[in-house]
Amino acid sequence: MPAAMSEAEVEEMCLDLLVELGYERVYGPDISEGGIAPERNYSEVVLVDRLRQALRRINRSVPDDAIDDAVKKVLRVESQNLVENNQSFHRLVTEGVGVQYKRADGSVKDDVVWLFDYANVGNNEFLAVNQFTVKEERYNRRPDIVLFVNGLPLVVVELKNPSDEKADLTGAYQQFETYKQQIPSIFRYNEILVVSDGTYAKA
């Protein structure tokens, strides 16, 4: 790899690879408030419309009211503790979201809304979003790449300039520690963290 490769070039290379793997590439500012196709405010880390559409597509036997209830449960934050919030979300990933709804005969049915289609992977939506700005309280931070599955930010990627000897993977890891303090909302949903300098990567 050329020593002169910039961080922007590393980002471009990473995005090209993700597209080859089946991700749709999306530029963060385009889908944020003020963008050409806004889907979110800067304080929102979940692409809610995409999530709702995916849940309806995956859980076809579940009525819309129950799908809406499942979306509310996914968005609900029940603790001030980041680890507890992340563990709570992970249970929804692995166990599904419990819902109740009335059948046509008036009886109540307990059901599960699944966030992902594990049987048919192609039924899920995969987005690679670069320059995804998050505003939380007085902080304004922009992870390099966020990977969304069905509107949920499951993977955060932090890249470093390979030509800068001081910008190593340890620095990228420390950047994540800063993000956890300043924009914890995105880490409620995080399943994987990736740091890379274009040559080496750690997850």
Residue 169 is predicted with a pLDDT of: 65
133-157: pLDDT as tens digits? 999 989 999 999 999 999 999 999 9
- pTM, full prediction: 0.91
C-alpha span between 39 and 34 (Å, rounded): 10
Neighbours of 55 (CB within 10 A): 24
Task: Using pLDDT thresholds of 50, 70 and 90, give the confidence band for residue 165.
Answer: low
**Which of 87-96, 116-125, 161-170 has the weakest average pLDDT?**
161-170
Contact 53, 70 (CB under 8 A): no
Express each pLDDT in 12-71 by its tens digit. 988 999 999 999 999 999 999 999 999 999 999 999 999 999 999 999 999 999 999 999
